[in-house]
């Protein structure tokens, strides 16, 4: 709160109000402004007399209040009257000039300034002196605290300095130890380098000697290779002479075999003419197609060097004369394309078999399971492919077994199924069994 300097407001015989005393005087007057009538207030204070709380009046008109108390005696007396009634506990003793050693000197000086008892100037001066002593004591105490804080900081700084020096000595010792270790390692590396150079020199000498020995061995090997080539040429000459003799022998045997076959063909044709045998129109499988599909045996089918899952084996089997291929339909389709509906599976399998029949001329029978069907669906197979369903109460496995049994002994029959029982029964009847994956691989090749 800015106040006007006391030396500008006080009369010559008035002491200068210390700042704490002046501030308390203004506070007391500000508290009492609402108790005074408007015409009893100086004009400068009338606008703020109604402000609340009192500290707001101090903030807005503190300087005007101080000036009015110093210059307007009537206003000061009105304020003193209100102070005497409201602060009678201290105002009475102060007005009577009673000493109050236990009271706050600032409060006593402020009341003395307003009440103006005899000797009030002394009390104001005493409060000022006391205020100066308090300030000096506070300053001294602050200086003592600052000095104590400075000494504490100095002690802490000295302790930190000692710690830094100690750490520096430790780091210096560590650096010296690391330096000694590095020197030792450097000496060890130099020693190893010398040893490595000596080893390289020895290795170079040994490598040169090894190259010389290798060159000698290479020369010996070249000589041996020339001798072997000469022997090989002699062996090839002998082999060519041997092959020439074997070829002549084979040609003679082939001629005899051809004459025998021609003789047998002539005898068979003569026997057919003599017995007047008709051409074969009904195949064995046709005798069971309507009721149950049937196929029969394969004996002595070649191909032991090929695996059962190799499509090349099935190609060889289908190249046999008058071969009959019996296919376990759903076993193949559910192995190859199980996600399709049954009619889609049947159609895809039959489409794939058409080019196989056209290429090989084999008899092909595809058997589907109709045991649970009252009426098998009509299925038109491609040309050369017989399509049949097992009858009610009969499984496709049983129908395949029947087809194998009705074939005459010696006719090549191939059964395609991954079912172990079907394959075992077909082979026991003389047929050749191949897994479904083999046919699928053959169909994929086209």
Secondary structure tally for the chain: helices H, strands E: 13, 5
Q: Are 330 and 369 in contact (CB under 8 A)?
A: yes
Does the pTM surpass 0.75? The reply is: no
* Residue 77 scores a pLDDT above 50: yes
Tokens 């029949």: give the residue: 357
Question: Given this model, what pLDDT does residue 1 score?
Answer: 36
Phi, psi of 248 (to 5 degrees): -65, -40
**326, β-bridge pairs:** 365, 415
Question: Given this model, what pLDDT does residue 105 score?
Answer: 83
Interval 176-210: pLDDT, tens: 999 999 999 999 999 999 999 999 999 889 998 98
Of 75-84, 300-309, 319-328, 348-357, the range with the lowest mean pLDDT is 300-309
Q: Are 332 and 353 in contact (CB under 8 A)?
A: no
Angle at 445 between CA 444 and CA 446, to 5 degrees: 90
Interval 207-222: pLDDT, tens: 989 888 888 888 888 8
């Amino acid at each position: 709160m800015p106040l006007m300097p006391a030396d500008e407001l006080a009369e010559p015989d008035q002491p200068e109000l210390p700042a704490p005393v002046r501030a308390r005087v203004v506070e007391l007057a500000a508290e009492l402004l609402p108790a005074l009538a408007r015409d009893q207030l100086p004009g400068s204070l009338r606008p703020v007399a109604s402000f609340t709380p009192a500290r707001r009046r101090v903030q807005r008109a503190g300087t005007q209040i101080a000036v009015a108390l110093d210059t307007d005696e009537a206003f000061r007396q009105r304020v003193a009257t209100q102070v005497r009634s409201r602060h009678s506990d201290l105002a009475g003793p102060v007005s009577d000039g009673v000493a109050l050693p236990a009271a706050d000197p600032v409060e006593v000086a402020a009341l003395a300034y307003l009440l103006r008892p005899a000797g009030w100037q002394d009390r104001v001066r005493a409060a000022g002196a006391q205020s100066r002593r308090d300030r000096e004591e506070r300053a001294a105490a602050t200086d003592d605290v600052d000095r104590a804080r400075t000494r504490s900081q100095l002690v802490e700084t000295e302790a930190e300095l000692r710690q830094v020096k100690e750490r520096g000595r430790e780091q210096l010792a560590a650096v010296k130890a690391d330096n000694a270790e590095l020197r030792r390692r450097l000496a060890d590396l130099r020693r190893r380098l010398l040893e490595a150079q000596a080893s390289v020199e020895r290795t170079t000498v040994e490598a040169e000697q090894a190259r010389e020995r290798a060159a000698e061995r290479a020369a010996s090997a070249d000589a041996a290779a020339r001798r072997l080539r000469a022997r090989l040429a002699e062996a090839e000459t002998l082999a060519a002479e041997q092959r020439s003799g074997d070829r002549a022998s084979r040609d003679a045997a082939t001629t005899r075999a051809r004459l025998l076959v021609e003789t047998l063909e002539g005898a068979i044709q003569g026997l057919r003419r003599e017995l007047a045998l008709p051409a074969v129109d009904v195949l064995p499988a046709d005798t069971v197609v309507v009721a149950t599909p049937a196929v029969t045996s394969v004996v002595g089918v070649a191909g032991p060097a090929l695996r059962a899952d190799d499509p090349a084996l099935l190609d060889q089997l289908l190249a046999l004369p008058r071969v009959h291929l019996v296919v376990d339909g759903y076993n193949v389709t559910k192995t190859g394309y199980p996600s399709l509906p049954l009619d889609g599976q049947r159609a895809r399998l039959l489409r794939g078999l058409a080019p196989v029949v056209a290429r090989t001329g084999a008899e092909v029978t595809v058997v589907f399971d109709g045991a649970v069907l009252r009426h098998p669906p009509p299925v038109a197979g491609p040309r050369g492919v017989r399509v049949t369903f097992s009858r009610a109460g009969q499984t496709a496995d049983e129908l395949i077994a029947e087809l194998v049994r009705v074939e005459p002994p010696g006719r090549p029959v191939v059964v395609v199924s991954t079912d172990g029982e079907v394959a075992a029964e077909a082979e026991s009847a003389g047929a050749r069994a191949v897994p479904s994956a083999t046919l699928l691989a053959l169909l994929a090749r086209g």
